[in-house]
Amino acid sequence: DAGVIQSPRHEVTEMGQEVTLRCKPISGHNSLFWYRQTMMRGLELLIYFNNNVPIDDSGMPEDRFSAKMPNASFSTLKIQPSEPRDSAVYFCASRLLGQPNEKLFFGSGTQLSVL
Amino acid sequence: EDQVTQSPEALRLQEGESSSLNCSYTVSGLRGLFWYRQDPGKGPEFLFTLYSAGEEKEKERLKATLTKKESFLHITAPKPEDSATYLCAVQAGGFGNEKLTFGTGTRLTIIP
């Protein structure tokens, strides 16, 4: 199993540019999460989907952030326009609903730097 | 709002020196408490899930315990390869609630 796959691994962009982060969950998983990690705030949940449907987007900081899951094997997180304070590591995670121990499998993350 | 506080922020131990990491939580109806390990440049990796006070789980040199207000991750005779950041997370009860709230972690360094 390839695990959760995120791309790109690193993204450096200038303020005001559009940024798109991508995620491929583990095959068969039907719940997908986007987290953001910073030193100050740790891991913060941005949004999660069950069966491709957004369930809770209360963690999305502003309208500049949007996420989609067009099918069970792909999700995107878009920031438009980007700002320096968006610099962080963005993680995607997936799991199978109803698993006994309900554990999340994380990708390796996208390190985003907005200059 | 669910809250998770981990202490200490950082801990340095000599190889073989046992210690404990703390995770205090406030949650409306605990459904599960999770421990993860995170190595630099990688995503968190699952260690344990605890569901009710009094429960304990072990894996190699790690043992996790749970009370109604906190969880401990005990590390016995640690080795340098145990160096990592250890994250605690809680999931509140309620049908369909899949959200995990994480603490900021404890950065553990084991000195050979």
Residue A43: pLDDT over 70: yes
Per-residue pLDDT of chain B (112 residues; tens, 9 = 90+): 889 999 999 999 999 999 999 999 998 888 899 999 999 999 999 999 999 999 999 999 999 999 999 999 999 999 999 999 999 999 887 766 778 899 999 999 999 9
**A92 to chain B nearest CA, in Å?**
9
* pLDDT for A113: 97
* pLDDT for A2: 81
Do A43 and B34 make contact, defined as CB atoms within 8 angstroms?
no
Peptide bond into A81 cis (omega under 30): yes
Confidence of residue A114 (pLDDT cuts 50, 70, 90): very high
Mean pLDDT, residues A65-69 taken together:
97
Do B49 and A48 make contact, defined as CB atoms within 8 angstroms?
no
* pLDDT for A29: 93
Chain A partners of B104 at a C-beta cutoff of 8 Å? 41-42
Rounded Cα–Cα distance for residues B61 and B3 (Å): 27
pLDDT in tens, A88-103: 999 999 998 876 567 8
Residue with tokens 């993204």: A11
pLDDT in tens, A48-65: 999 999 999 999 988 999
Residue A1: pLDDT over 80: no
Residue A24: pLDDT over 70: yes
Q: Work out whether strand B70-75 and strand B62-66 pair parallel, antiparallel, or are unpaired.
A: antiparallel
Mean pLDDT, residues A17-35 taken together:
96
Do A106 and B45 make contact, defined as CB atoms within 8 angstroms?
yes
Do A55 and B43 make contact, defined as CB atoms within 8 angstroms?
no
For residue A49, give the chain B residue with the closest CA.
B98
* Least reliable range by pLDDT among A13-17, A100-104, A111-115, B9-13: A100-104
Instruction: Using alpha carbons only, give the angle B100, A90, B92 rounded to the nearest 5 degrees.
Output: 5
**From the candidates B9, B98, B107, which should be mutated to test the interface with A, based on the most A CB atoms within 10 A?**
B98
Chain B partners of A7 at a C-beta cutoff of 8 Å? none
For residue B47, give the chain A residue with the closest CA.
A103
Between the CA of residue A93 and those of B43, B60, B65, B79, what are the distances in Å?
9, 25, 25, 29
Rounded Cα–Cα distance for residues B49 and B64 (Å): 9
* pLDDT for B10: 97
Dump strand ranges (E) for B8-105.
10-14, 19-26, 30-38, 45-50, 56-59, 62-66, 70-75, 84-92, 100-102
Chain A partners of B89 at a C-beta cutoff of 8 Å? 43
**A101 to chain B nearest CA, in Å?**
6
**What mean pLDDT value characterizes chain A?**
93
Rounded Cα–Cα distance for residues B79 and B85 (Å): 14
